[in-house]
Amino acid sequence: DVGLIGFPNVGKSTLISTISAAKPKIANYHFTTLVPTLGVVSVAEGASFVCADIPGLIEGASEGIGLGHDFLRHVERCRLLLHVVDVSGSECREPIEDFEKINEELAKFSPVLAERPQIVIGNKCDLATEEQIEAFRQYVEGKGLTFVPISAATMQGVKELPGLVYNRLKDIPPVPVFAPEYKKPEPKANDRSFNIKRMEAHVWSVEAPWLEYILAGSNVDDYESLQFFQRQLGDSGILDALVEKGVQENDTILIGDYQFDYIF
């Protein structure tokens, strides 16, 4: 029913864990898989909706960068989008710029998706000034959109959110979605090369067809499979190369159709 969208680290996972019983998993590895997390949000007895935490989109998602098209296809399944923005700019980002960039990616991917109903969530209000909140409110409401200021960390404004969303869903029909067939990438024989690019602040891309092939055939939620993947990262020199390039804890790492968090 509902999809949480926005850049990495804006608080989407914290939000879904506060409005539902969903508990996004974070494992103690250098990389932690980020996949869409579903949660059922109860509004009243017999009244509920399903909410999906869509892992952080980045610039270029419409062109397939990172999880790219896969993430956007998850968004296509949602009737209503909760566009979460860090209104405090705590990650050295501009809230209005972030909001516009995500909407640009939606429009590039699908004109229909660009018209999907949105409620704009201004998160991390506990870290923002009144001036920051008011400036973003005026910008959002100037576009004819609903703005809801919250702090998922302190629960400020969160209690009223499910009811607002549920009432909005009553007027939105289901969305038909047709999923394309996935094709597994074919690696070159004996090729263990890789290329690391810094996409933006705290976001890195690792291009390695052979590693993408391994990931496509692995269950990254399985402990032994994830251990094997970790060994490939270490043996190939990818981990050392990331450190040399200046990767920091909690940076986002993109490998093919997967997105990870870097954890020391």
Residue spans per domain, the chain? 2-169, 195-262
Instruction: Report angle CA 123, 1, 57 to the nearest 5 degrees.
Output: 50
Q: How far is CA 233 from CA 185, 230, 251, 255, in A?
A: 18, 5, 16, 11
What is the helix (H) or strand (E) element at residue 47, kind and residue range?
Answer: strand 47-53
- Helix residue ranges, H only, 45-157: 68-76, 95-109, 111-114, 130-142
**Residue 57, pLDDT score:** 56
Please tell me the predicted confidence (pLDDT) of residue 52.
85
Residues 6+ apart with CB under 8 A from 64: none
Tokens linked to 7: 């850049």
* Domains 2-169 and 195-262 agree in fold: no
For residue 161, give the amino acid letter: L
| Low-confidence spans in the chain with pLDDT less than 50 | 26-33, 58-69
Q: What is the DSSP letter of 151?
A: B
Query: What is the tens place of the pLDDT at every residue in 91-146?
Result: 788 999 999 999 998 888 888 888 999 999 999 999 999 999 999 999 999 999 99
Question: Tell me, what's the pLDDT at 68?
Answer: 41
- Cα gap 79→2, rounded to integer Å: 6
Q: Which amino acid is at 222?
A: D
Tell me the pTM: 0.62
C-alpha 127/C-alpha 240 separation (Å) is 35
Question: For residues 250 and 134, what is the distance between their CA atoms, to the nearest angstrom?
Answer: 30
pLDDT of res. 226: 74
Q: In what order do the strands lie in the sheet with 258-262?
A: 31-33, 258-262, 252-255, 203-207, 195-200
2-169, which class in CATH? alpha beta
Question: Are the CB atoms for 207 and 248 separated by under 8 Å?
Answer: no
Number of helices (H), then strands (E), belonging to the chain: the values are 9, 11
8 Å CB contact between 128 and 121: no
**Residue 54: CB atoms within 10 Å:** 26
Mind listing the pLDDT tens digit for each residue in 129-140? 999 999 999 999
pLDDT at 217: 73
Query: What pLDDT, on the 0 to 100 scale, is given for residue 94?
Result: 93
Structural contact between residues 52 and 36, judged by C-beta atoms closer than 8 angstroms: yes
Per-residue confidence (pLDDT) for residue 60, from 0 to 100: 47
195-262 fold: GMP Synthetase; Chain A, domain 3 (3.30.300)
Nearest in space to 14 (alpha carbons), one of 193, 219, 152: 152
